[in-house]
Amino acid sequence: MDFLGILSSTASFILDPTTMAYALAGLGLAIHFGFAGLLNMGMAGFMALGAYGYAIGILTFGLPWYLAAFVGIGASIVFALLLGIPTLRLRGDYLAIVTIAAAEIIRLLLLTAVFADVTGSADGLTGFNGAGGTVTNPTPGAGGFNDANPIPGGEYGFEPFLDNERTWFVRIVGMLILAGATFAVWRLVHSPWGRVIKGIREDEDAVRSLGKNVFAYKMQALVIGGVLGALGGLLLAFSTNVNSSVFVTSLTFFIWTALLLGGAATVFGPLVGSVIFWTLQAFLGLVFPALAKAGLLPFSGIQAAQIRFIIVGVILVLLVIFRPQGIFGNKKELTFVK
Amino acid sequence: MSSSSQPTTPTKSTGLHVGEIKPGVAKKDPILVADGVRRQFGGLVAVDVEHVEIPRNAITALIGPNGAGKTTFFNLLTGFDTPNEGKWSFNGKSLAGVSAFKVARMGLIRTFQLTKALALLTVMDNMKLGSTEQPGERLGASLFPFIWKKKDDEIEAQAIEILTRFKLDTKKDDFAASLSGGQRKLLEMARALMTKPELVMLDEPMAGVNPALTQSLLDHILNLKKEGMTVLFVEHDMHMVRHIADWVIVMAEGRVVAEGAPDEVMKNPAVIDAYLGSHQDTDLGTVTGRITLPTKGKDS
């Protein structure tokens, strides 16, 4: 068993654009659920809009990549407004039901063959990142994200982070977006605005009775979280092709797990939670097949890889029971029964 | 009682009404006027108030049996619920169709029967939320601390001043969840004061509060009047109503059935019938020696 190889592959996930994308979406969910108390179960929908908005902006409308990025972000804002207007006046659980359904509607619209010209249907979209195409699917093109790469061609870094200039460009852009978003969220939740949305999480009628426009605040929180989700989707699209099979409901639940692991009402929780969650996923996904291959587990390699989902499920259950505030959460918050 | 050393008879405002006392009597200077306000829940008429006026800079008690529609009436007046018909105005401005947060911004602040402390916010954050002048509550401005930091310090100073009055200043960094039920009532009232209201509507401020704390709550309410505010409160503790109210409005089955100065109203047979019950002895307060009735001699 190549244990070092497994560790190295696992470590590469720490700087993977996918991990950063999930961290961004987790940050959005922290705004939604951790600070404003909005039960958004449709984060995958926001991410899909970010990714597809970007890809469609380039492929169908022929926009430069940076303008196409705004198409993705704009789509997520419209989506948040559409979801929020009918549901934010209702009790929180209704938002959960509506968002989970709306995210599925988005995914099915992207999957259906009716719009195959635009969405690529089940094949998804490829070759929108310009010269050299996407990292995983090199297709010639021009004027895309990859053409904006100022890094000269070649391999950089050290194992396990030894990669070519394209991957590094996505990583650096991802880290910049993540750092900017984290700083903005930190500022927001430590401001009077953050105080109001935390108050709304606790009791919106009380906040209303103090003269705050609760609906407007909830809408702002929904839009900000949604935009962060779209940025996550955008980052995925920078690094690879887009496919509707990525933006399934289980993606939403993975992000929830990462969020709860780090701490819902924290700024750095989603970051650390995402890194731990995805490296753990990657590690278990590699180590179980290796164990099966070595004859230590009575499964085939593919079956063994699925065990990690069972283990992740168990971890989520244990986490919610024994440490609901997450790694970064305030222990004091647990002292009280709500 | 600890109150024996302090003056227990507050100055009552009198001469608030115009003309003969009857339900819906006009007031000299009404702050809140409701006209034909009616709220139906299916077949049940919860509130059906023909006309009522709340006198300015006085303490008005709203009493009545359980289910009389007092809290529903509160909800209607503050925009938390919408009546089927009727109009009502605050300071001469119509409140029909005005949402709850705008009503609050106009200076009409309410508290809730079931106390709404924001549990996982600190006492200080609870207080700061009450301020209506913080520019940093706007999304754009919140990102730039230099816009709101100075104001936040001012608000904090104001909050500490009010918390000290309510003896909660030592708790300012604790979560509101760690306060006792009575302290939460105090916090809710203190938080309401942060908005600098004109009219404070308190829904059962004394429910579940021990007698010593009741005494200090009473003093706080009397202070509100001294500071020029108007108070409207719902309460079942008749001693307290007699003690501090300048005017009493009695509701039963959604209607205003009686109005008047406390002692007059409590002699009203309709009120005894509908609410107080015949066993309610108006002298009970003086018998226990707890309070001295303003219209009686100091015989306790």
Tokens of A19: 């991990």
Average confidence score pLDDT of chain B: 84
Contact B137 A193 (CB under 8 A): yes
pLDDT for the residue A24 = 96
Tell me the mean pLDDT in the region B168-174. Answer: 91
Q: Give the start-to-end residue ranges of the domains of chain A.
A: 3-8+15-247
Tell me the mean pLDDT in the region B206-231. Answer: 86
pLDDT at B277 over 70: no
| A23-37, A100-114, B84-98, B259-273: the lowest-pLDDT one | B259-273
Whole-angstrom Cα distance, residue A267 to residue A259? 10
A253: Cβ contacts below 8 Å, ≥ 6 apart: none
Note if the bond before A160 is cis, omega within 30 degrees.
Answer: yes
Contact A198 B121 (CB under 8 A): yes
pLDDT bucket at B290, cuts 50 / 70 / 90: low
pLDDT bucket at B274, cuts 50 / 70 / 90: confident
Higher pLDDT, B133 or A215: A215
Contact B104 A184 (CB under 8 A): no
Picking from A193, A203, A332, the nearest residue to B175 by CB comes out as A332
Report pLDDT digits (tens) over A244-282. Answer: 999 999 899 999 989 988 888 889 999 999 999 888 888
pLDDT for the residue A305 = 78
Chain A residues inside the 8 Å CB shell of B152: 192
Per the rule left: phi > 0, alpha: psi between -120 and 50, beta: everything else, A62 is left
Picking from A199, A202, A211, the nearest residue to B101 by CB comes out as A211
* DSSP 8-state symbol, A125: B
**SS3 at position B87:** strand
Higher pLDDT, A5 or B275: A5
Tokens of A152: 């000269």
Say if strands B199-203 and B230-234 run parallel, antiparallel, or are unpaired: parallel
Over its C-alpha atoms, chain B yields an Rg (Å, rounded) of 20
pLDDT for the residue A184 = 96
pLDDT bucket at B296, cuts 50 / 70 / 90: very low
Q: Residues of chain A whose pLDDT is less than 70?
A: 1, 131-143, 331-338
pLDDT for the residue B181 = 83
In chain B, where does the domain assigned CATH 3.40.50.300 lie?
A: 2-117+196-288
Q: Where are the alpha helices (DSSP H) in chain B?
A: 70-77, 100-105, 123-130, 139-142, 145-165, 181-193, 211-226, 238-244, 262-267, 269-271, 284-288
pLDDT for the residue B2 = 41
Contact A201 B130 (CB under 8 A): no
CB B29 within 8 A of CB B17: no
Interface of A with B in 192-211 (CB under 8 A): 192-196, 198-199, 201-203, 205-211
pLDDT at B3 over 50: no
Report pLDDT digits (tens) over B11-25. Answer: 777 778 777 777 878
* Amino acid residing at A331: K
**SS3 at position A298:** coil
pLDDT at B297 over 60: no
CATH topology of domain B2-117+196-288: Rossmann fold (3.40.50)
Picking from B119, B130, B152, the nearest residue to A210 by CB comes out as B130
